[in-house]
């Protein structure tokens, strides 16, 4: 797969508010890329710049090696599916899907064939004459998809298209989107604030915050190797603990010196203050006194398939979040153990005060 879309140095402000700040992004052909982040992080503006609905203040947009920064939206080989679907209520399903083809004055025989093919792709064959108000939310979402793919775009842009659906429908549509992407062989750029959607569907996840790309990589890379506390906290549940490197590939966490896989070569020399990420599912519960840390369970919730517990540690008075399939009681004293490969070391935000503290181990 070759590169299809490239953003270089994209900057965008509205009034005095900077929305995008130096965005560089590459999207390969037939790739499913998700822009993930909280409201206001800049992901929708990035999508609108790719679509041609917004023009960047600085930077360039390239499509298949050609500069399309100044190309109008209606001349770009992309289609967009919005959260509200934007279907025409006075038209039938078939008329909605055929609308853009009729604007382009395509022959009626061709239109009929393409509408039928699009409905087949979204598993709604025979719905041509239905009214929009006769459709469920999930069916309306599929019609919006059919209307977009009938134009055979090389890129499909999806702006939180599942946000209005209930959980079960949303999960069903996640599988449908992955299936469509494989069958159509087109590039998907998807926007969401839902980390589960991003991890489930994507080839590449781009985590954004405050107008910057924080990290990009495969879902597994983003989850297992977050580059900073924001990514670690936004992608799944995490224990983000203050630590300090005490030796090459040895970190002190909650009063315990423990081996890790990061050291000087990775930018973590002795004396360096660091953030340490440990996922709650990676913490093993062992008998009291038999682990690395001891603590007392102070709260417990049953979350469908596992128990979620808060544990107050005895040494550093740190609260640890644990997820475990076995039931333990509030007030129970336990030991905790973590494999070294499940400890992720990250750089702390630098400040003069933190730098000065690094001399104290």
How far, in whole angstroms, is CA 27 from its chain's centroid?
A: 15
DSSP code, position 206: E
How much is the pLDDT for 350?
Answer: 57
At 2 the three-state DSSP class reads coil
Query: Which three-class secondary structure state does DSSP give residue 71?
Result: coil
Q: Which residue has the higher pLDDT, 152 or 251?
A: 251
pLDDT confidence of 100, banded at 50, 70, 90?
confident
Backbone angles phi, psi at 172, to 5 degrees: -65, -40
**Nearest Cα residue to 177 out of 153, 137, 149, 205:** 149
pLDDT in tens, 115-140: 998 888 888 888 989 998 888 888 88
SS3 18: strand
**Least trusted range by pLDDT, from 72-86, 236-250, 326-340:** 72-86
Residue in 108, 106, 135, 105 with CA at minimum distance from that of residue 122: 135
> How far apart are the C-alpha atoms of 203 and 194, rounded to whole Å?
16
Distance (Å, whole) CA 244 – CA 252: 5
Task: List pLDDT tens digits, range 278-290.
Answer: 999 999 999 999 9
Q: What is the pLDDT of residues 34-82, one digit of tens each?
A: 999 998 899 999 999 999 999 999 999 999 999 999 999 989 989 888 7
pLDDT tens, residue by residue, 161-175: 777 677 777 787 788
> Hey, how many other C-beta atoms are within 10 angstroms of the C-beta on 212?
16
- Residue pair 258/268 in contact by the 8 Å Cβ criterion: no
Residues 11-20: contacts with CB under 8 Å, at least 24 apart: 11/56, 11/57, 11/58, 11/59, 12/42, 12/45, 12/49, 12/54, 12/56, 12/57, 13/57, 18/211, 19/45, 19/211, 20/45, 20/46, 20/49, 20/56, 20/211
DSSP secondary-structure letter at 236?
S
User: Beta 17-28 vs 58-63: how paired, if at all?
Assistant: unpaired
d(CA 277, CA 298): 21
pLDDT in tens, 101-112: 888 888 989 989
Report all structural domains of the chain as residue ranges with CATH numbers, in order of start. 3-224 (3.40.50.300), 238-357 (2.40.50.140)
Is the pLDDT at 358 greater than 60? The verdict is no
Helix orientation angle between 93-103 and 137-149, rounded to the nearest 10 degrees = 20
What is the rounded CA–CA span in Å between residue 314 and residue 294?
Answer: 6
Pseudo-torsion of CA 52, 56, 58, 63, nearest 10°? -20
Helix, strand, coil abundance in the chain, percent, nearest 5: 30, 35, 35
What region, left, alpha or beta, does residue 129 occupy, with left being phi > 0 and alpha being psi -120 to 50 degrees? Answer: alpha
* Res 4 pLDDT > 60: yes
Mean pLDDT (the chain, rounded): 88
**What integer pLDDT is reported at residue 21 of this predicted model?**
93
- Does pTM surpass 0.75? yes
For 141-162, what is each residue's pLDDT tens digit? 888 888 888 888 889 998 887 7
Task: Select, from the ranges 80-84, 191-195, 211-215, 260-264, the one with the highest average predicted confidence (pLDDT).
Answer: 211-215
């Amino acid at each position: 797969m070759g590169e299809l879309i490239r953003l270089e140095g994209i900057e965008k402000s509205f009034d005095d508010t900077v929305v995008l700040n130096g965005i560089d992004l590459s999207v390969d052909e037939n790739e499913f890329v998700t822009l993930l982040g909280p409201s206001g992080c800049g992901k929708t503006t990035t999508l609108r710049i790719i679509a041609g609905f917004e023009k960047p203040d600085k930077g360039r947009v390239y499509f298949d090696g050609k500069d399309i920064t100044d190309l109008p939206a209606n001349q770009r080989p992309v289609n967009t599916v919005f959260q509200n679907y934007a279907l025409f209520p006075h038209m039938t399903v078939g008329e909605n899907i055929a609308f853009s083809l009729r604007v382009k004055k395509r022959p009626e025989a061709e239109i009929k064939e393409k509408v039928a093919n699009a409905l087949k792709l979204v598993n709604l064959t025979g719905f041509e004459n239905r009214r929009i108000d006769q459709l469920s939310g999930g069916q309306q979402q599929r019609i919006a998809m059919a209307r977009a793919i009938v134009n055979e775009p090389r890129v499909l842009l999806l702006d939180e298209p599942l946000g209005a659906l209930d959980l079960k429908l949303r999960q069903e549509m996640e599988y449908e989107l992955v299936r469509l992407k494989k069958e159509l062989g087109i590039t998907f750029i998807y926007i969401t604030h839902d980390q589960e959607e991003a991890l489930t569907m994507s080839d590449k996840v781009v985590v954004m915050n405050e107008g910057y790309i924080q990290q990009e990589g495969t879902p597994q890379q983003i989850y297992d190797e977050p580059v900073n506390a924001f990514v670690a906290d936004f992608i799944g549940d995490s224990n983000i603990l203050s630590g300090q490197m005490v030796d090459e590939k040895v970190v002190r966490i909650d009063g315990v010196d423990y081996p890790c896989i990061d050291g000087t070569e990775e930018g973590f020399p002795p004396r360096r203050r660091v953030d340490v990420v440990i996922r709650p599912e990676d913490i093993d519960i062992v008998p009291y006194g038999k682990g690395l840390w001891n603590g007392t369970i102070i709260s417990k919730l049953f979350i469908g398939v596992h128990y979620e517990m808060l544990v107050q540690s005895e040494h550093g008075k740190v609260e640890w979040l644990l997820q475990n399939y076995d039931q333990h009681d509030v007030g129970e004293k336990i030991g905790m153990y973590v494999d070294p490969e499940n400890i992720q070391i990250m750089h702390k935000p630098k400040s003069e005060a933190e730098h000065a503290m690094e001399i104290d181990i």
